[in-house]
Structure 1
Amino acid sequence: MKECCKDPCSPDPGIFRDSFLLPHREEILRRIGHCQQKYERITQKGHRSLEKFAMYHKEFGLHRLNSGWIFREWAPNATAIHIIGEMTQWQIDPEFCLERKTADGVWEASFPLGAFFHKALYRLVVTWKGGRGDRLPTAVTRVVQDPDSLIFNAQVWEPESPYMWRHSSPDPADLFIYETHVGMAQETWGVGTFKEFETRVLPRIKTAGYTAIQIMAVQEHPYYGSFGYHVTNFFAVSSRFGTPEEFKSLVDAAHGLDLKVFMDVVHSHSSSNEIEGLSRFDGSLDQFFHSGDRGIHRLWDSRCFDYGKPMVLNFLLSNLRYWIEEFHLDGFRFDGVTSMLFYDHGLGRAFTCYDDYYGNSVDLDALAYLYLANRFVHAMIPNCVTIAEEVSGYPGIATSQSDGGTGFDYRYAMGIPDFWIRLLKEYRDEQWPLSLLWQELNSRREDERTISYAESHDQAMVGDKTLMMHLMGRAIYSCMERTNTSITTFRAVALHKMIRLITLATAGNGYLNFMGNEFGHPEWIDFPSAANNWSYQHARRQWSLVDNEDLMFSCLARFDRAMVKTAKDHGILNASRARLIFVHEADKTIGFMRAGMIFVFNFHPDKSFVDYPVNAPTGRFKMVLDTDATGFGGHGRLRADQVHLTLKGGAIQNDNSQLSLYLPARTAIVLAPGKGQ
């Protein structure tokens, strides 16, 4: 089990190694104390475990017993609940009426074994004072949509034989994450399936060298175009991709390839849909959510959980437990953490100083839930990986609980991709501020592990552009042949490689790539909607482009494989911070060391440099990666595996040994120490 906060009221938890937090010490200790007190209340001061508390999915919903079936639901405001479905010819039947068992709203009914059967469709009719509505159970584990009426129904899912797992979770490894979306992973127009992903995409990810997949849109969501972020049924695998067993098979196959499987978990908000989702489930607006305006996320058109309610904590923690136990997931990327933390969801705020975090704008109950979630999953699986999608920079999110933090293993370095887009939009190549770039790439707290990336799904969505689209524009449709000699193509291909390499080489503790971006996938992501006449044209991945050796896309993919392999072979992500050797703004060159290797980048659009002096430890250095190699779509201006020897003295600092390098324009090289030949 990972360490948790042993003494949250200690005068010097490790988080205060950052002396700039000391002026906020009282407030930070109050927040740590609030989280610990919440834990103690739930566990009755340690006399029961969080595992015994997180039982929502086991207590509620439809469950088959040896003697029959039992169904329970939580609906405090309801006055009656009936089950209707194929077993009742979709009519209210008194034999399928639930009985209120407790004053706090637990309803229950028992049924004989013949009352329900595998794949039977059903839903609830919930009645409350002044109203009635069709609803799906709050803990439903299978939901399907009728292709004609488009109505969603719950489905009994009790296959005769349980899934037989073949592989265990891989051992911990350097974190190279391949962010994916099953539905858009196929090339044909339509919605991809778990089976297709398992057979066609997983082998590509393994070949590319990544060590984990992060799957989006797993939880059921009625609107495909929401990218999976408007969840209605938190315990249900989205049926548009396949069955629960097919998702288990995908996870199992990934484990067989030594790939960890993470899931995007959306606990930051819930769909406002009322028939399919949780909103107004029992006729009240505040069963799971805040009442009034606080319960509505205006920008996202969704509902905001009230994390102060014990049953909400039970529901959400149980949800994490369910995905771990039922589907053997290895970790979670928590979506929308900033929105959870701040009453105003962090909208329109710059967060330029620590004062912005320690006023009265933070929802302490949301903070406590995140604390509990991390403590819970790490107790269940010590190697479980939790990642915070948190854009404000809230201190301590990825600091251990023993040091006074919230306990996430990693946080995304979300400022880096935004900065790359800003560079491409606002600066000419010859004006790139390399010192500012260095600062952005390395701006992270010492006590928090981060995951860097040049672009994720956010940058690829309609309304923005991928890096390759920014670099190529419409020329991407006509100028990607390997025989093309235009400056447009060379610039785009060269910078695409250099951007990714410097991002990975300076990454804190992990690196992420969104599916297809490793080969410069053209165009954007746009799911079917009325605005595009319900087209799937941009909701797919064109793998045939990367498979075509006559196109530059294959070169970019080949480089990405070499880059990831180099980083893995030399332990880049486990090494201490990169150490800057030099920045030359006029030359547009930058050099640094990490893991004993030397990285040198010449971003200049047209100037190549001969005998460029670079300070280095005395010895031999072999070139292990060259972005200009012909196999990577470059001009081949450097000799493969070139060995360089340091020289004493030089043009910059006579008391240091130096390398004398040829640096072609728009080229980066990586040198590793060794004897060489």
Structure 2
Amino acid sequence: MSLLATPCASMCIDRGLALHKMIRMLVLGLGGEAYLNFIGNEFGHPEWVDFPRPENGWSHQHCRRRWDLPADDLLRYKFFEAFDELMQACENRFQWMASEHQYVTIKNNMDKVIAFERGDCILVFNFHPCSSYTDYQIGMGFNEPMRCVLDSDEGRFGGQSRLEHGHANAFFPLHGAQDRPHSVKMYLPSRTCQVLVKDRLLQGGVRVWVSWDFLWERGLGSLADVLIRLQVWKDGKLVPTPPRPFDEEGCLRVDGPDAIFGLEGPDGQPLDCKTAADGLFRVYFPGDYTPS
């Protein structure tokens, strides 16, 4: 799993990375109304858990989780963790698990392709080990442009970045296929999955809202007590920008599809994100977000 020892992944490692990501997405897409992850599996923990007991001589050797693995830039575990984080954020934004709309469009055993609609999304999987498909037609019930917001082949997930076109360009609806009134044609590289959402849901950038519950929990009296400090990438590092106030409705609009920011109270007191080690809030998709 070392990037230093094997800069180009072996066939075995490449296969494991690809299938691991696809299976996670398939479970999150079709599995039901909830998603359960055992601690450490989000980055592909390589060891089992074994608590001290008489049979192992009261050993603490495997009574642990190796949190250092995804934090090491020279190991590929970081790709697993990055994909899991974005996958969860994608569902949190578009909330297909709570939707009643579900329709499996394709389950082609010969092509090894699975495609289904859930909520406002289309999830497409190509499990074939060696065949990639160009202009693969997928029926859908949506008569509007669709855009790819997440794919397992992205470079930040250890993939080969073969689907950049789909992120920058919408797929416009075509004539019907597979007993669906409309369709799209897509490029499906082998062992990859993609999530498409309605293009109109991605318009308007990121909107961050401050709720009164947020103010009350932190002992603040008004919106004027909170400032937002956006973070931008510069020379490979996150650099904070000057703080900005929220408008009178408690909203701040950010141009662009994503945002990283910190919140400050009076006298520059940080109002940290409770789930992030660095205290920063991260938004990966356009839409409305309320820090908590």
TM exceeds 0.5?
yes
Q: 1:649 to 1:577 in 2, by over 3 A?
A: closer
Distance 1:480 1:626, change over 3 A: farther
Query: Aligned ranges for residues 325-364 of structure 1 at < 5 Å?
Result: none
8 Å CA contact retained: 2:79, 2:157: yes
Number of the residue aligned with 1:643? 169
Identity %: 38
Alpha-carbon spacing, 1:568–1:653, altered in 2? closer, same or farther (3 Å): closer
> What's the CA shift for 1:612?
0.4
| Distance change (3 Å), C-alpha of 1:480 and 1:546 | farther
Deviation readout 1:366-399 (Å, 9 max, x if unpaired): xxxxxxxxxxxxxxxxxxxxxxxxxxxxxxxxxx
1:552 is matched with: 76
| Aligned-partner SS, 2:196 | strand
Please point out which of 97, 103, 111 is paired with 1:573.
97
Query: Offset of 1:577 from its aligned partner?
Result: 5.1
The letter of the residue matching 1:584 is N
* Partner-residue secondary structure (3-state), 2:170: strand
Give the letter for the 2:197 counterpart. Answer: A
Whether the 8 Å contact between 2:128 and 2:190 is mirrored in structure 1 is yes
The answer to whether residue 164 in structure 2 is matched with residue 624 in structure 1 is no
The structure with more helix, counted as a fraction of residues = 1
Contact 1:591 1:601 in 2 (8 A): yes
Task: Specify whether residues 577 and 536 from structure 1 end up closer, same or farther in structure 2 by C-alpha distance, changes over 3 A only.
Answer: farther
* Paired residues of 1:480 and 1:489 also in contact (CA < 8 A): no
Mark the CA change 1:482 to 1:660 in structure 2 (over 3 Å): closer, same or farther.
farther
In 2, the alpha carbon distance for the partners of 1:577 and 1:511 equals 18
| Contact 1:480 1:552 (C-alpha < 8 Å) held by counterparts | no
Name which structure has the greater RCO, CA cutoff 8 Å, separation 6+: 2
Matched, 1:597 2:121: yes
Give CA-to-partner distance per residue, 1:386-435, whole Å, 9 cap, x none. xxxxxxxxxxxxxxxxxxxxxxxxxxxxxxxxxxxxxxxxxxxxxxxxxx
Q: Distance in 2 between matches of 1:665 and 1:590?
A: 12
Please give the secondary structure, in 2, of the residue aligned with 1:539.
coil
Alignment match of 1:564 (pick from 85, 88, 91): 88
Aligned length: 200
Aligned counterpart for 1:672 among listed residues 197, 200, 203: 197
**Cα distance between partner residues in 1 of 2:8 and 2:171:** 36
Aligned to 2:188: 663
Structure 2: distance between partners of 1:624 and 1:518: 20
Q: Which runs of 5+ in 1 are unaligned?
A: 1-475
Q: Which runs of 5+ in 2 are unaligned?
A: 204-292
Scaled by the length of structure 2, the TM-score of the pair is: 0.63
Check the 8 A contact 1:519/1:556 in 2, yes or no: yes
Taking only aligned residues, the RMSD between alpha carbons, in angstroms, comes to 2.3
Change in Cα spacing, 1:506 to 1:633, as seen in structure 2 (3 Å) is same
Partners of 1:512 and 1:483 lie apart in 2 by: 32
Question: Is the Cα–Cα contact under 8 Å of residues 587 and 604 in structure 1 kept in the other structure?
Answer: yes
- Name the CA shift for 1:524/1:655 in 2 (closer, same or farther; >3 Å): closer
Q: 1-side partners of 2:126 and 2:97: how far apart?
A: 23
Q: How many angstroms apart in 1 are the aligned matches of 2:191 and 2:5?
A: 19
Distance 1:653 1:538, change over 3 A: closer
Question: Among residues 37, 57, 65, which one is paired with 1:541 in the alignment?
Answer: 65
TM superposition shift of 1:536: 1.4
Q: Deviation of residue 649 (structure 1)?
A: 3.1
The structural deviation recorded for 1:656 is 3.5
- The equivalent of 1:527 in structure 2 is 51
Structure number with higher strand proportion = 2
Separation of aligned partners in 2, 1:671 and 1:599: 6
Bigger radius of gyration: 1
Distance in 2 (alpha carbons) for counterparts of 1:498 and 1:505: 10
Q: How far, CA to CA, are the matches of 1:573 and 1:482 in structure 2?
A: 38
